[in-house]
Amino acid sequence: MTALVTKPIGQLHLAPGSVVTIPDVTWSEFEAILTERAHRSYGRIAYYQGTLEIMVPLPEHERPKELISDIVKALLKKQRIPYEPFGSTTFKQLGTAGIEPDACFYIQNASKIIGRRRLQPGDPPPDLAIESDVTSKTTIDAYTAIGVPEVWIFDNGNLKIFALQAGSYIETNVSPTFPNISIIDIVTKTVDRSWKIGSYQAMTEFEETVLTTL
């Protein structure tokens, strides 16, 4: 369900699964909304050049997000690649864009943000961001402006990988983070299995069939 509304947002009461688009939001208004949001809960946000989207995920949105994050962590640990997870932190490009991933990871830049409780001006964007059931243009535009090198979008049971090249995202079957691993197949099968046998057992199967071969 998508709606086009005007400000103010403080009066909005959104049902799970809702996506609200608010036009003509200035950067200062966006910053004020983030401040208000710290004291209230009304979903996740994406902002790009004056357009604000507020998304309230469905409960079933959580399982893919958690499983995909667990898969990323397991693969990085198995390959002894250092990483720093940053959850759904708000990332901003001053005056232009703001985005809150479902999950994100610093990998190549992990050493630069060790010990950070809050991001500082000049910190790089995360190396990998994960989105579940989000395909809006505002979201993609925000990621482009912020410069996240790799974005995974899991939607309707399928994983799509987008790599940032020359200032725009290109869909690819190969993950720049895991170039020698069949990420799309692994993620799709593991999430699908979780609905049938549960998350714990699905991750156990992943560990026994995938991790042991690396």
Helix (H) or strand (E) holding 117: none
Average pLDDT of the chain is 89
Q: Can you say whether residue 203 is alpha, beta or left, with left for phi > 0 and alpha for psi between -120 and 50 degrees? A: alpha
2 pLDDT band, cuts 50/70/90, is very low
* Residue 61 confidence (pLDDT) above 60: yes
% of the chain beyond a pLDDT of 70: 91
For 76, residues 6+ apart whose C-beta sits below 8 A from its C-beta are 82, 83, 105, 107
% of the chain beyond a pLDDT of 90: 68
Q: Which residue has the higher pLDDT, 165 or 9?
A: 165
- Rounded to whole angstroms, how far apart are CA atoms 183 and 163? 14
pLDDT tens track for 88-111:
789 999 999 999 999 999 999 999
Q: How far is CA 161 from CA 15, 26, 66, 111, 171, in A?
A: 29, 31, 17, 24, 6
* Residue 167 confidence (pLDDT) above 80: yes
pLDDT tens track for 130-139:
998 766 889 9
pLDDT tens track for 64-88:
999 999 999 999 999 999 999 998 7
* Residue 199 confidence (pLDDT) above 60: yes
CB 7 within 8 A of CB 22: yes
Q: 59-213 — its CATH code?
A: 3.90.1570
3 pLDDT band, cuts 50/70/90, is very low
Q: Can you say whether residue 185 is alpha, beta or left, with left for phi > 0 and alpha for psi between -120 and 50 degrees? A: alpha
Would you state the structure tokens that stand for residue 195, as one six-digit string?
């609905």
Please tell me the predicted confidence (pLDDT) of residue 135. 65
- Rounded to whole angstroms, how far apart are CA atoms 201 and 214? 20
Whole-model pTM? 0.89
For the chain, give every domain's residue range: 59-213
CB 45 within 8 A of CB 33: yes
CB 209 within 8 A of CB 185: no
Per-residue pLDDT, averaged over 28-44, amounts to 78
- Report H helices in the chain: 27-37, 62-78, 137-146, 183-197, 199-209
Beta bridge partners of 169: 164
1 pLDDT band, cuts 50/70/90, is very low
126 pLDDT band, cuts 50/70/90, is very high
The three-class DSSP label of residue 198 is coil
Per-residue pLDDT, averaged over 178-191, amounts to 97
